[in-house]
Amino acid sequence: MRRCLDCGQTFTADGWTCPRCGRAPAERDGLTAFAPELVDGEEGKGGFEAEAFAGLAALEEGCFWFQARNDLIVWALDKYAPRARSFLEVGCGTGFVLAAVAGARPGMRLVGSELFTAGLRYAVPRVPGAELLQMDARRIPYEEEFDAIGAFDVLEHVEADSEALAESRRALRPGGVLLMTVPQHPRLWSAADDYAHHVRRYTRRELVAKLRGAGLQPVRVTSFVTFLLPPMALSRWIERRSRDTYNPMVEHRRGAAFRRPSAAVMRAEGAIIRRGVSLPAGGSLLAVAIRAAGNR
């Protein structure tokens, strides 16, 4: 069902005009916009730099980390939501993950949301069959609508992360599945996190507690980027000691020589996770949680 963010009315319709209050969302850059006031506001800028999407879109296709994360996400969706027919990605950015899901699950209804329409401009050609919305993760205009919801490296940008989790639970159908990834280990904090406007890096215990607090039952939590954690920790230590201004493109150029071996390591790690092993530590966490039937 659709949910009016002005009066709270739930309704089923092709359009977004609320039958109770008559309100309809705005339009921004040709897209339905539920929080246009945040696109250029200070709060929106705190979560991400809109100008960074061009560089992100160029980087994703050739970066082993993004590909390995996509492989893990598609596997988790097939494993834990094999019969899901609808999927919402909260914070879909340039549509890189959504395109992978579209390729793996043809026929699935796909909806992508993003705070910045600058990111959605790249998602439009990448996922032409998806519904794309400008939206605040803390105010989702759906109720019991989706079989599965994904939020991949999004929650760490949101100060009110528990509120965003509760909204995702509300938008899931009973028995629906939430899949998410977040950066792990607060001690790995570095200039890279500052540059990305992260609010936090998570511990496993913190993430599990917040999922349960939002009415979601975790069924799988595992670290990944585990075997590359030592060089990652060393890199972050060097960054903290450096007086140079952080430049992510310099970091990626330095890592180009290690791209193939790093990709091989991540593939091996993914194979271990798929066999049922939950890794204890890593640069990131993957969590899968379920909204129990009757959980309102």
Average pLDDT over residues 100-125: 96
Domain assignment present for residue 236? The answer is: yes
- Tokens matching residue 52: 């960074």
Domain assignment present for residue 39? The answer is: yes
Residue 94 and residue 115 in contact, taking contact as beta carbons nearer than 8 Å: no
Q: How far apart are CA 117 and CA 120, in angstroms?
A: 5
What pLDDT does residue 236 have? 83
- Judged against a pLDDT cut of 90, whether residue 281 lies above it is answered with yes
Average pLDDT over residues 42-49: 52
pLDDT confidence of 248, banded at 50, 70, 90?
low
pLDDT confidence of 55, banded at 50, 70, 90?
confident
pLDDT per residue over 160-193, tens digit each? 999 999 999 999 999 999 999 999 999 999 888 9
Amino acid at 96: F
- Tokens matching residue 201: 């890096």
Domain assignment present for residue 155? The answer is: yes
Can you count the helices (H) and strands (E) in the chain? 11, 11
Q: What is the DSSP string of 90-137?
A: ET-TTSHHHHHHHHHSTT-EEEEEES-HHHHHHHHHH-TTSEEEE-BT
Domain assignment present for residue 20? The answer is: no
What pLDDT does residue 40 have? 57
Domain assignment present for residue 17? The answer is: no
* The model's pTM: 0.94
Q: How far apart are CA 24 and CA 231, in angstroms?
A: 50
Number of domains in the chain: 1
93: containing domain: 27-290
Phi-psi region of 13 (alpha: psi -120 to 50; beta: other; left: phi over 0): beta
Provide the CATH number for the domain around residue 263.
Answer: 3.40.50.150
pLDDT confidence of 196, banded at 50, 70, 90?
confident
- Rounded to 10 degrees, the C-alpha dihedral 211/153/267/289 comes to 20
Domain assignment present for residue 22? The answer is: no
- Judged against a pLDDT cut of 80, whether residue 257 lies above it is answered with no
pLDDT per residue over 125-165, tens digit each? 999 999 999 999 999 999 999 999 999 999 999 999 999 99
What pLDDT does residue 42 have? 47
What pLDDT does residue 52 have? 81
Q: How far apart are CA 176 and CA 198, in angstroms?
A: 28
Domain assignment present for residue 296? The answer is: no
Q: How far apart are CA 287 and CA 285, in angstroms?
A: 6
Phi-psi region of 225 (alpha: psi -120 to 50; beta: other; left: phi over 0): left
Residue 56 and residue 116 in contact, taking contact as beta carbons nearer than 8 Å: no
pLDDT confidence of 259, banded at 50, 70, 90?
confident
pLDDT confidence of 43, banded at 50, 70, 90?
very low
Domain assignment present for residue 16? The answer is: no
Average pLDDT over residues 263-289: 97
